[in-house]
Structure 1
Amino acid sequence: MAVPGKITVCCQPCDRDGQRLAAHGYCKNCCEHLCESCYKHHMRHTLSRDHILVDKTNMPQIMQLSSSFHYQQHEDFTKPCHKHKREVINFYCQNHNELLCSVCVTHGHQHSPCKVSYIPDISENVIDGKEYIELLKKMDSMSEQFCKIQDRMYRSTVKANKTLSNALEDIKLFRKEINKRLDELEKQAVVEVNVFQDENLKMLKEVETACNDKTRDLWTSCDSMKRLNCSKQAEKLFVEVKSAERMIEDCEKRLVELAKFKVNSYSFTPNETISKLLTSEKSLAILVHKTMHDESTTKDSMVFEKELYYHGDICVKTSKDKAMCWITGMTLLTPNILVITDYLNMNVKLVDTRSQYVIDRLHLDCGPYDITSVTSTELVATFPRSNTIQFLAISSDKLKQKNTVKVDGHCWGISCYLDKLVVSFYDPAKLQILDMCGIVLKTFRDQNDFGNPLYVEAISSSIYVSDTNKKRVTRINWCGQVIGSYDDMNEARGLSLSDDGTVFVCDRGRKVIEKISGGCFQGKVVLQDLKYPQAVCWCSETSKIYYSSGDGNDRDKNALHVYQLFKPLQ
Structure 2
Amino acid sequence: MSTPRNINVKTSSDENDCWITGITVSPQNQLFVADYNNLSIKMIDTNSGTIKQQQLESNPWDITIMTRDTLAVTIPDIETIQFISFSSNSFSLKHKLKVDGQCHGISHHQGKLAVTFLFPDKLQIIDLKGNIQITVEKDSDGDSIFSDSCYVTTNSHSIYVSESVKNAVIWFNWQGEMIGRYVTTGRPYGISLLDDGSIFVSDNKAECIYRVSGDCKDRTIILENVDGHRAVCWSAETSTLYLSTDSDNTESNNIIKMYKMM
Structure-2 residue corresponding to 1:485: 181
Normalising to structure 1: TM-score of the pair?
A: 0.44
The correspondence for 1:330, drawn from 13, 23, 28, is 23
- Aligned equivalent of 1:353: 46
Letter in 2 for 1:342: D
Within the candidate set 413, 418, 428, 2:105 is matched to: 413
2:87 is matched with 395
Among candidates 496, 506, 524, match of residue 202 of structure 2: 506
Residue aligning to 2:220: 524
Are residue 381 (structure 1) and residue 73 (structure 2) matched? Answer: yes
Does residue 321 (structure 1) correspond to residue 6 (structure 2)? The answer is: no
Which one of the candidate residues 47, 62, 75 is aligned to 1:370? 62
- Alignment counterpart, residue 168 of structure 2, candidates 469, 472, 480: 472
Per-residue CA distance 1:70-115 (angstroms, 9 max, x = gap)? xxxxxxxxxxxxxxxxxxxxxxxxxxxxxxxxxxxxxxxxxxxxxx
CA separation in 1, counterparts of 2:251 and 2:257? 10
Deviation, structure 1 residue 449: 2.2
Q: 1:554 to 1:429 in 2, by over 3 A?
A: closer
1:343 to 2:43 alignment? no
Deviation at 1:335, TM superposition (A): 5.4
SS at match of 1:556: helix
2:151 aligned partner = 455
TM norm structure 2: 0.95
Q: Kindly report which structure 2 residues correspond to 1:547-562, keeping only aligned pairs within 5 A, or say none.
A: 547-562=243-258
Question: Which has the higher mean CA deviation after the structures are superposed, 553-562 or 407-416?
Answer: 553-562
Measured against aligned partners, the alpha-carbon deviations of 1:392-433 in whole angstroms (never above 9, x if no partner) come to: 001242111000111000100000010101110112211111
CA–CA distance in structure 2, aligned partners of residues 543 and 460 of structure 1 = 21
**Structure 2 CA distance for aligned equivalents of residues 329 and 439 of structure 1:** 24
Which residue is equivalent to 1:538?
Answer: 234
Q: 2:192 is aligned with what amino acid? A: S
- Matches for 1:43-82 after TM superposition, within 5 Å: none
1:43 aligned partner: none
Q: SS of the residue aligned with 2:4? A: strand
Partner of 1:433: 125
CA RMSD of aligned residues (A): 1.3
Query: Is the 1:531–1:552 contact (alpha carbons within 8 Å) kept by the matching residues of 2?
Result: no
The runs of 5 or more residues in structure 1 that have no matched partner are 1-307
Structure with more strand by fraction: 2
Deviation at 1:516, TM superposition (A): 0.4
Structure 2 distance, partners of 1:555, 1:309, is 24
Instruction: Give the corresponding residue for 1:443.
Output: 135
Deviation readout 1:462-510 (Å, 9 max, x if unpaired): 1000011111000011222211111014211111111111100111111
User: What SS does structure 1 have at the residue aligned with 2:14?
Assistant: coil
Q: Counterparts of 2:193 and 2:41 in 1: how far apart (Å)?
A: 22
Equivalent in 309, 312, 316 of residue 5 of structure 2: 312
Deviations, residues 175-197 of structure 1 (Å, cap 9, x unaligned): xxxxxxxxxxxxxxxxxxxxxxx
Which residue type is aligned with residue 500 of structure 1? D
Between Structure 1 and Structure 2, how many residues are aligned?
Answer: 258
Distance 2:170 2:62 in 1: 18
Task: Tell me how far apart the structure 2 counterparts of residues 532 and 396 of structure 1 sit (CA, whole Å).
Answer: 31
CA distance in structure 2 between the aligned counterparts of 1:363 and 1:488, rounded to whole angstroms: 37
1:552 and 1:541 map into 2 onto residues whose CA distance is 33
Runs (4 or more) in structure 1 with deviation over 6 Å come to none
Secondary structure, in 3 states, of the residue corresponding to 1:450? coil
Opposite residue 43 of structure 2, the aligned amino acid is: L
Whole-angstrom CA distance in 2 between matches of 1:382 and 1:319? 25
1:565 and 1:461 mapped to 2: Cα distance? 26
Question: What amino acid is aligned across from residue 378 of structure 1 in structure 2?
Answer: T
Structure 2's unaligned 5+ residue stretches are none
C-alpha spacing 1:489/1:438, structure 2 compared with 1 (3 Å): farther
Decide which structure has greater helix share: 1
Matched-pair identity in %: 39
Partner SS, residue 3 of structure 2? strand
